[in-house]
Amino acid sequence: MPSKIRLKRIEDRIREDLSEILVREVADPRLSGISVTGVKVDRELAYADIFVSAVEGQVRKEEVLEGLRHAAGFLRSALAANIELRTFPRLRFHWDVTPERADHIERLLASLREQESPAPAAPATPPVEDEDEEA
């Protein structure tokens, strides 16, 4: 079994190479405009869970995942040609909702900022006492 550091290197390499392959070598229109957001490889190197998202969000989820499942054999063999491992893990694709959640949170924070627009504050100057009047 590989160490945690080696697993992390393998995951990073798969993510980088897969992103490049999707941009340069895949002609399937279902896979245009997608991002590989993460890769998690199990300790036995049997499976690589690939997390993806698209700019359009959940609208394209099924289309993108179906395109990736269709191209899984090609993607696995292209990755295996670039990355030297005794046996290359099988690819499993998952939709990553993290970018959509982050966008939603950003919109909520922006609306809160707009609602909290500062009201003009009255000048806070203490009343001036006239010394001549007291005498």
Say yes or no: domain 4-113 is CATH 3.30.300.20.
Answer: yes
Distance from C-alpha of 39 to C-alpha of 8, rounded to nearest angstrom: 9
Q: How confident is the model at residue 110, as a pLDDT?
A: 86
| CA quadruple 76, 46, 11, 55: dihedral sign | positive
Domain parsing of the chain, residue ranges = 4-113
**pLDDT tens by residue, 58-97:** 888 999 999 999 999 999 999 999 999 999 999 999 998 8
Beta strands in the chain (DSSP E): 34-41, 47-54, 90-95
Q: Residue 135 pLDDT > 80, yes or no? A: no
Q: How confident is the model at residue 124, as a pLDDT?
A: 59
Contact 47, 89 (CB under 8 A): yes
